[in-house]
């Protein structure tokens, strides 16, 4: 049974298995990762750090590619507006 | 890692997929100092992506163990973005950036999926086929979820089988290639018995999942996220409710960095000689950037490149035969999975083509080149640097891509600002 | 034979576009020729600022006049021109620079340009991301920024609405004696030929002293609110003033998208388009000295461009010395966007033989050279 990691996504607490990516945490929290420049909800497309649709702010750093970043305990993730 | 840290390698491999790993292992076996860089948290690239559940891909295990035993320096979570001078590349990690010096450079940057726009393709939960698989491997729950798999290429079946094995419900796999193309492909597989074995295994894994050639998605529907996919099948439209759409149209080689290095690009691929040498001295290229060829070809090319760089050209030569065989398979794949012209009619006027900048199809029509469209509509000016909309517009409008400038990936301003002074003829004036 | 034109404009950058627009507006039949697309040379590469500069009285007059023309045009500009009157702050880092700030303020105010000296505290409030320890600055609220390729396109389209013909994808190989020879073998004839070919104008009109002055730029991803005004260091003028060597100066600009555009650099004698790492790094280090927070921002791309530079830092606007049919509208260095509209007005006035609102003498190609420069 893998360890769980707890982080917050837009203020909501989410628990994921250790080794999961932030993109997965955002999906589990039923959130879209970002709003496009005209306000459409968007989520990961390529899964490999190329499309930038999975961008979120992690611990205040904007435009972080969540599909390539592993969850860490206490991470604060918020949607890039 | 400190900001100005430098590392020296005899052979530096860019890309930790099968080609890169094979090159690194063979070079290291010859006793030279090897480093391998990859932007993911662990090595394996796409096809050998490890999963949360099971760890590294089984095929990859013995290669990865060799890497460790041979003392190859693994630089994970680092992205190469520039070559400030011959023999040096710059890499950025989550914290900091560094310079990596090399005698020989192995470009094994792999490929990415080709995405084609259609109405609704920007809805959350519409992903690439490899894209969804990567998310599932990274922990996305998929058991009991309905996934339509669509697009083209051998990746579709592999992904469908994987998802099916993990409990996803797959109502359909839509392959745009026709029955005729696929039948010819299957017949030609007789020359590649290993592939037939793989095919049979996949078919068994898929069980009763319908595989429908000559069909493709025409629209994705949903309000805040995907709710159903509309497909075209034998001239009829069908609406299929689902949770995810895994849709990709084969692969596009990642040739941006070798282009920046000045390697000659022929027909969209990096030109190499029989030893996998590019037209730039000291730079090798192996795997998908030299031609989309799949796992086997990547492994062979990687080994040839690694052996040659380490001075074992005679051993490299021994692999030429098996490479030729693998190349003929890859050419077959290209022909089979060619995109049909109907796919050019999929986007409607309002369909977003450039996702970074929300540029709709109608705004792009009428521009005569990628550059003109970019200047006047912002298409391609976003952080993906045209990697998603570029291949799409190339297919839709036959536009050719622009020249490549550093950085080849978005990096922090400070990473571009820290260029060491002591190097090169152009000393800084103060 | 080609249809009849009264004027042919070579170059569809911002200056050529403005000239074509003005010529068409005055009832002339115009052809515009460009070997690439509209707004693709320095127009595509530059920072798109509309800024009043005071390196010389003549420069002030031209930039101020043109800035006012942009303000008048603003209501007609479509959204994709992204016109923002964000203002410029000339930033002072020490007491010597503050003295210069006060001098500039007096100079501008005496000439009717609103300009306000702001102290260190006010500066920090206006631009929190500037490093601590700046001494203050000069705020010019009427300066602005826009997105040049779309501005050029707007002007060309206005000219086309009045019947102008746009010919793209073919170069002018020769201009003179009422003819423009094109690389596709055809030619255009007109009484008036305008050389608005920017950093390539010297290839078409031999003997004019227009040299390429390379610049580097970088644009970041979107960070709305990071930067509110265009910021320029006072040393910018020293950099622009230099007539040889490489230099960098702090100059950043907020785009309407929330992206930050970072410049600036100047090089003489660098004629290759490639991005040069050392110059780029120097430019970025300079920028970080003023705004340390820039370092953490994500870069989307970098590029270079060539400004058309003249020895006395003023553009060439008026009849060419050697040929009655050729008029020059080139040599705008870093002020092409700013002065494009004024250039068009005073050029077309000269063509039509009517006086201009400002003196045209400082910009005439026939003017006596004040400084001869050998780069």
Element (H, E) at C161: helix C148-161
Chain C residues at the A interface, defined by Cβ less than 8 Å, are 221-223, 257, 296, 298
Cite the residue boundaries of each domain of chain C with CATH code 3.30.9.10. Answer: 85-141+211-309
Query: C touches which chains (3+ CB pairs under 8 A)?
Result: A, B
Architecture of C85-141+211-309 per CATH? Answer: 2-Layer Sandwich (3.30)
Q: How close A9 gets to chain B, by Cα (Å)?
A: 15
- Alpha-carbon dihedral of residues B126, B132, B134, B140, nearest 10 degrees? 100
DSSP code at position A80 = B
Closest CA to B406 of C299, A62, C267, C222: C299
Classify C7-46+148-210+312-363 by CATH class. alpha beta
Nearest Cβ partner of C149 from B376, B406, B416? B376
CB within 8 Å of C118: residues ≥ 6 apart: C89, C126, C136, C137, C138, C139
C-alpha B107/C-alpha A20 separation (Å) is: 28
Cite the residue boundaries of each domain of chain C with CATH code 3.50.50.60. Answer: 7-46+148-210+312-363
Residue C316 has pLDDT above 60, yes or no: yes
Q: For Cα atoms A43, A45, A48, give the angle at the middle one, nearest 5 degrees.
A: 115
Tokens for B426, please give them.
């152009």
Tokens for C157, please give them.
């389209």
Q: Please answer yes or no on whether A63 and C221 come within 8 Å at the CB atom.
A: yes
CB within 8 Å of B288: residues ≥ 6 apart: B19, B109, B110, B111, B251, B253, B254, B298
3-state SS track over C280-307:
HHHHHHHHHHHCHHHHHCEEEEEEEEEE
Best B123, B124, B163, B408 member to test A by mutation, with max A CBs in 10 Å, is B124
- Give the pLDDT of residue A12: 94
Q: How close C80 gets to chain A, by Cα (Å)?
A: 14
Q: Is the CB of residue C82 less than 8 Å away from at least one CB of chain B?
A: no
**What is the percent of chain B where pLDDT is above 70?**
96
Of all residues in chain B, the one with the smallest CA distance to A21 is B138
Q: How confident is the model at residue B419 (pLDDT cuts 50, 70, 90)?
A: confident
- Give the pLDDT of residue B301: 98
Query: B touches which chains (3+ CB pairs under 8 A)?
Result: A, C
Nearest Cβ partner of A36 from B40, B138, B358? B358
Beta bridge partners, B229, equal B220, B240
Chain B residues with CB under 8 Å of C288 CB are 413-414, 417
Beta bridge partners, B98, equal B91
Q: Is the CB of residue B385 less than 8 Å away from at least one CB of chain C?
A: yes
Residue B259 has pLDDT above 60, yes or no: yes
Would you tell me how many other CB atoms lie within 10 Å of the CB of residue B7?
Answer: 17
Q: In CATH terms, are B6-112+252-334 and B115-249 the same topology?
A: yes
Nearest Cβ partner of A16 from B131, B139, B356? B139
- CA distances to C73, C366, C371 from C321, rounded to whole Å, are 32, 6, 18
Q: Where are the beta strands (DSSP E) in chain C?
A: 7-10, 30-34, 49-50, 88-92, 116-119, 136-140, 144-145, 165-168, 172-176, 179-182, 187-189, 192-195, 211-222, 230-233, 247-254, 259-268, 299-309, 316-319, 326-330
Domain edges within chain B: 6-112+252-334, 115-249, 347-397
Q: Is the CB of residue A63 less than 8 Å away from at least one CB of chain C?
A: yes
- Give the pLDDT of residue B59: 87
Nearest Cβ partner of C298 from B85, B412, B428? B412
Q: Cis bond leading into C264, ω under 30°?
A: yes
Burial (CB count <10 Å: 0-12, 13-18, 19+), residue C281: buried
Q: Answer yes or no: pTM beyond 0.80.
A: yes
Q: Please answer yes or no on whether A19 and B139 come within 8 Å at the CB atom.
A: yes
- Give the pLDDT of residue B190: 73
Q: For Cα atoms B133, B248, B195, give the angle at the middle one, nearest 5 degrees.
A: 75
- Give the pLDDT of residue B207: 79
Chain C residues with CB under 8 Å of A39 CB are none
Q: How confident is the model at residue C374 (pLDDT cuts 50, 70, 90)?
A: very low
Can you state the percent helix, strand and coil of chain A, rounding each to 5? Answer: 10, 40, 50
The 10s digit of each residue's pLDDT in C142-164 is: 999 999 999 999 999 999 999 99
Q: How close A54 gets to chain C, by Cα (Å)?
A: 15
- Which string of DSSP letters, residue by residue, matches B79-93? EEEEEEETTEEEEE-
The 10s digit of each residue's pLDDT in B134-166 is: 999 999 999 999 999 999 999 999 999 999 999
C-alpha C97/C-alpha C95 separation (Å) is: 5
Q: Is the CB of residue B85 less than 8 Å away from at least one CB of chain C?
A: yes
Handedness of CA B26, B28, B33, B38 (dihedral sign): positive
Of all residues in chain A, the one with the smallest CA distance to B50 is A19
Of all residues in chain B, the one with the smallest CA distance to A42 is B124
Q: Please answer yes or no on whether C295 and B411 come within 8 Å at the CB atom.
A: no
Chain C residues with CB under 8 Å of A37 CB are 222, 257
CATH topology of domain B115-249: FAD/NAD(P)-binding domain (3.50.50)
Averaged over B243-262, what is the pLDDT?
97
Closest CA to B44 of B74, B73, B4: B74
CATH topology of domain A4-79: Ubiquitin-like (UB roll) (3.10.20)
Of all residues in chain A, the one with the smallest CA distance to B121 is A45
Residue C309 has pLDDT above 70, yes or no: yes
Chain B residues with CB under 8 Å of A62 CB are none
Averaged over C51-73, what is the pLDDT?
97
Best C281, C296, C297, C303 member to test B by mutation, with max B CBs in 10 Å, is C281
**Do residues C78 and C154 make contact, with C-beta atoms less than 8 angstroms apart?**
yes
Element (H, E) at C12: none
Q: Please answer yes or no on whether B135 and A27 come within 8 Å at the CB atom.
A: yes
Best A16, A25, A45, A59 member to test B by mutation, with max B CBs in 10 Å, is A45
Best B81, B95, B413 member to test C by mutation, with max C CBs in 10 Å, is B413
Chain B residues with CB under 8 Å of C295 CB are 412-414, 417
C-alpha C69/C-alpha C60 separation (Å) is: 14
Residues within 8 A of B (CB atoms), C 232-271 only: 245-247, 262
Nearest Cβ partner of A37 from B225, B357, B384? B357
The single residue listed with the structure tokens 């700013």 is C338
Nearest Cβ partner of B41 from A43, A51, A70? A70
Architecture of B6-112+252-334 per CATH? Answer: 3-Layer(bba) Sandwich (3.50)
The 10s digit of each residue's pLDDT in C34-43 is: 999 999 999 9
Query: A touches which chains (3+ CB pairs under 8 A)?
Result: B, C
Nearest Cβ partner of B131 from A19, A27, A44? A44
- Give the pLDDT of residue B401: 87
- Give the pLDDT of residue B257: 97
Closest CA to C366 of C317, C303, C331, C325: C317
Instruction: For B290, list phi and psi in degrees, rounded to 5.
Output: -95, -5
C-alpha B341/C-alpha B216 separation (Å) is: 12
- Give the pLDDT of residue B205: 78
Q: How confident is the model at residue C371 (pLDDT cuts 50, 70, 90)?
A: very low
Closest CA to B426 of C373, C269, C250: C269
CB within 8 Å of B198: residues ≥ 6 apart: none
- Give the pLDDT of residue C368: 64
Averaged over B109-116, what is the pLDDT?
98
Closest CA to C282 of C301, C299, C267: C267
Q: Please answer yes or no on whether B355 and A28 come within 8 Å at the CB atom.
A: no
- Alpha-carbon dihedral of residues C9, C10, C16, C20, nearest 10 degrees? 20
Mean pLDDT score across all residues of chain C: 94
Q: For Cα atoms C36, C162, C7, give the angle at the middle one, nearest 5 degrees.
A: 60
Residue B420 has pLDDT above 90, yes or no: no
Of all residues in chain B, the one with the smallest CA distance to A34 is B124
Query: For chain A, which residues score pLDDT lower than 50?
Result: none
Residue B2 has pLDDT above 70, yes or no: no
Averaged over B37-60, what is the pLDDT?
90
**Do residues B175 and B215 make contact, with C-beta atoms less than 8 angstroms apart?**
yes
Count interface pairs A-B at CB distance under 8 A. 112
**What is the percent of chain C where pLDDT is above 90?**
92
Best C42, C245, C278, C279 member to test B by mutation, with max B CBs in 10 Å, is C278
Q: Please answer yes or no on whether C257 and A61 come within 8 Å at the CB atom.
A: no
**CB burial readout C106-122, b (16+ within 10 A) else e:** eebeeeebebebbebee
Q: Please answer yes or no on whether A63 and C298 come within 8 Å at the CB atom.
A: yes
């Amino acid at each position: 049974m893998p360890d769980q990691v707890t982080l917050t996504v837009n203020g909501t607490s989410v628990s994921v298995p250790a080794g999961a990516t932030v993109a997965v945490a955002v999906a589990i929290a039923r959130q879209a990762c970002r709003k496009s420049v005209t306000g459409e909800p968007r989520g990961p497309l390529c899964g490999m750090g190329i499309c930038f649709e999975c961008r979120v702010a992690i611990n205040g750093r904007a435009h972080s590619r969540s599909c390539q970043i592993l969850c860490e305990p206490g991470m604060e993730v918020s949607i890039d507006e | 890692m400190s900001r100005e840290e430098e590392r020296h390698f005899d052979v530096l491999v860019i890309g930790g997929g099968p080609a890169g790993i094979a090159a690194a292992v063979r070079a290291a076996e010859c006793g030279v100092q090897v480093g391998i860089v990859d932007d993911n948290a662990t090595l394996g690239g796409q096809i050998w992506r490890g999963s949360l559940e099971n760890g590294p891909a089984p095929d990859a295990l013995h290669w990865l163990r060799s890497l460790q035993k041979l003392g190859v320096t693994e630089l994970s979570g680092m992205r190469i973005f520039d070559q400030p001078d011959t023999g040096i590349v710059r890499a950025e990690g989550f914290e900091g950036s560094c310079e990596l010096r090399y005698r020989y450079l192995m470009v094994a940057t792999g490929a990415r999926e080709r995405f084609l726009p259609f109405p609704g393709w920007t809805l959350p939960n519409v992903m690439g086929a490899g894209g969804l698989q990567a998310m599932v491997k990274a922990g996305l729950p998929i058991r009991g979820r309905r996934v339509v798999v669509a697009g083209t290429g051998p990746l579709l079946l592999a992904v469908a089988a994987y998802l099916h094995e993990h409990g996803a419900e797959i109502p359909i796999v839509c392959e745009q290639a026709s029955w005729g193309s696929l039948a010819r492909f299957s017949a030609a597989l007789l020359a590649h018995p290993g592939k037939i074995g793989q095919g049979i295994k996949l078919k068994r894994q898929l069980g009763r999942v319908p595989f429908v050639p000559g069909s493709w998605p025409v629209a994705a529907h949903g309000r805040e996220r995907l709710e159903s996919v509309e497909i075209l099948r034998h001239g009829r439209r069908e609406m299929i409710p689902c949770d995810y759409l895994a849709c990709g149209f084969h692969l596009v080689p990642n040739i941006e960095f070798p282009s920046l290095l000045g390697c000659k690009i022929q027909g969209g691929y990096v030109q190499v000689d029989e030893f996998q040498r590019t037209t730039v001295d000291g730079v090798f290229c192996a795997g998908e950037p030299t031609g989309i060829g799949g796992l086997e070809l990547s492994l062979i090319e990687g080994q040839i490149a690694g052996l040659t760089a380490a001075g074992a050209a005679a051993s490299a030569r021994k692999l030429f035969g098996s490479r030729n065989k693998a190349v003929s398979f890859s050419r077959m794949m290209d022909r089979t999975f060619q995109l049909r012209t109907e796919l050019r009619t999929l986007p409607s006027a309002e369909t977003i083509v450039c996702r970074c900048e929300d540029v709709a199809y109608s705004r792009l029509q009428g521009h005569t080149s990628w550059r003109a469209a970019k200047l006047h509509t912002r298409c391609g000016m976003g952080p993906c640097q045209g990697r998603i909309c570029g291949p799409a517009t190339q297919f839709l409008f036959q536009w050719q891509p622009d020249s490549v400038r550093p950085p080849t990936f978005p990096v922090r301003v400070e990473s571009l600002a820290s260029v060491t002074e002591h190097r090169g003829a152009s000393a800084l004036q103060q | 034979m080609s249809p009849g034109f009264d004027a042919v404009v070579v170059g569809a950058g911002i200056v050529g576009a403005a000239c074509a627009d003005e010529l068409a507006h005055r009832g002339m039949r115009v052809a515009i020729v460009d070997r690439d697309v509209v707004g693709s040379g320095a127009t595509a590469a530059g920072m798109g600022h509309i800024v009043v500069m005071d390196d010389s009285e003549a420069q002030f007059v031209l930039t101020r006049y043109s800035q006012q023309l942009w303000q008048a045009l603003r209501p007609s500009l479509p959204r994709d021109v992204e016109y923002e009157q964000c203002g410029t702050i000339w930033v002072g880092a020490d007491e010597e620079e503050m003295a210069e700030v006060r001098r500039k303020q007096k100079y501008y105010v005496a000439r009717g340009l609103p300009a306000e000296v702001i102290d260190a505290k006010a500066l920090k409030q206006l631009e929190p991301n500037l490093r601590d320890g700046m001494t203050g600055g000069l705020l010019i609220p009427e300066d602005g920024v826009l997105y040049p390729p779309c501005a050029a396109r707007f002007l060309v389209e206005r000219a086309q609405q009045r019947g102008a013909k746009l010919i793209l994808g073919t170069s002018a190989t020769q201009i003179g004696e009422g003819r423009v020879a094109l690389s596709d073998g055809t030619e255009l004839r007109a009484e008036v030929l305008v050389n608005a070919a920017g950093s390539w104008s010297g290839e078409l009109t031999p003997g004019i002293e227009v040299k390429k002055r390379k610049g580097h730029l970088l644009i970041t991803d979107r960070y709305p609110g990071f930067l509110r005004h265009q910021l320029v260091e006072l040393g910018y003028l020293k950099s622009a003033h230099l007539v040889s060597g490489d230099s960098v100066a702090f100059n950043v600009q907020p785009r309407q998208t929330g992206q930050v555009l970072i410049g600036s650099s100047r090089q003489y004698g660098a004629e290759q388009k490639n991005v040069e790492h050392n110059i780029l790094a120097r430019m970025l280090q300079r920028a970080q000295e003023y705004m340390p927070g820039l370092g953490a921002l994500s870069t989307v791309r970098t590029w270079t461009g060539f400004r058309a530079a003249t020895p006395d830092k003023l553009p060439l606007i008026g009849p060419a010395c050697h040929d009655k049919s050729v008029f020059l509208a080139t040599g705008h260095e870093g002020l092409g966007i700013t002065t494009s509209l004024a250039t068009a007005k005073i050029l077309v006035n000269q063509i039509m033989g009517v006086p201009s609102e400002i003196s045209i003498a400082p910009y005439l190609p026939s003017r006596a050279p004040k400084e001869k420069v050998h780069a």
